[in-house]
Amino acid sequence: MIKVGIVGATGYAGVELIRLLLGHPNVVIRRLTSRAEAGVRVDRLFPNLRGYIDLVFEDSTRAQFDDCDVVFFATPHAVAMHSVPELMAQGIKVIDLSADFRLSDISIWESWYGVKHAAAKLIDSAVYGLPEVNREAIATASLVACPGCYPTAVQLGFLPLLEAGLIDPESLVASCASGTSGAGRSAKVNLLLSESVETMKSYGVGGHRHLPEMEQGLIRMAGTNVSLTFVPHLAPMVRGIHATLFATLTETAVDLQAVFKARFCNEPFIRLTEGNYEPETRHVRGTNMCEIDVTHPPGDRVVVTVAIDNLVKGAAGQAIQAMNIMLGVDEAAGLSAPAVGP
């Protein structure tokens, strides 16, 4: 069995990790930490887990993970970087759901996050955990940096077109909407039900922390510089990312459906709608699935629509997918349940 620990297990991504790992046939959870909830039983804080787990949250400053094979960090940025070096020195594999190891350029990371990086020497060894792009590197990694939710949707949507050189890399536009859980579990006035329901708004239009991560990945796909306009929105829903992507085709006489089928035919968590219906967040709720459609309207523009669950394919599920690859078990283990409906 794979022995697992989770640091920051009381946030939305953390408790989603617990829920999914409890259904994993090859995993046993050993340690769960939380500074604020140390000493509290997991099923007391999260009643939906009653009957499934009897662990108590430990203080993250005192917990020892020497009985773990893998430790997940579901923490805010600038937390994991202080603990990861010690864990890796013990031979423990680390999967970080925060942004601490996503960017290869330390100066860019420090400018966006406003602090000095505490583990800069590990950046070069960190593998970006987008399985559809980095599966082979993930398989031999000791440190995986999981992509953000918006970057997952945007990169997967543009991936076949950029790799095939079918779009102008200077013409990329991503208009994306996220559910309120993407903002975390902390109490915030703008996320109160009466503040967030029956309304929709954009935010971070002048600059969002996920932008450099997306640009980094898209540049690697295109093999050249890209220009991306990214506009995120807060949608009146709890879960989900819906991304509408636009680009200018460099070749219009091409079968785009065939291009996407060829690129994703062996991907267990990519579902192409093939123009039969539009991707919706409810189609993927609670799953690790990424639903994609590509459309060529009249003219030289292409539109790609993408739907994922921000807490699963955009966080916990993708982290487990990476763990499965790292440990050599079935990539879909623990991630095969269908979407929750209605």
- Give catalytic residue positions: 149
342 prior amide bond cis, ω within 30: yes
Measure the CA–CA gap between 73 and 122, rounded to whole angstroms: 15
283, 306, 282, 302: which is closest to 293 by C-alpha? 306
Burial class (CB in 10 A: 0-12, 13-18, 19+), 177: buried
Residue 331 makes CB contacts below 8 A (sequence gap 6+) with 131, 268, 321, 324, 325
Distance CA 110, CA 101 (A): 11
How many CA atoms lie within 13 Å of 244's alpha carbon, on the beta-carbon side? 7
Crossing angle between the packed helical segments 316-327 and 131-139, to the nearest 10 degrees:
40
Nearest to 125 by CA among 77, 93, 82, 159: 93
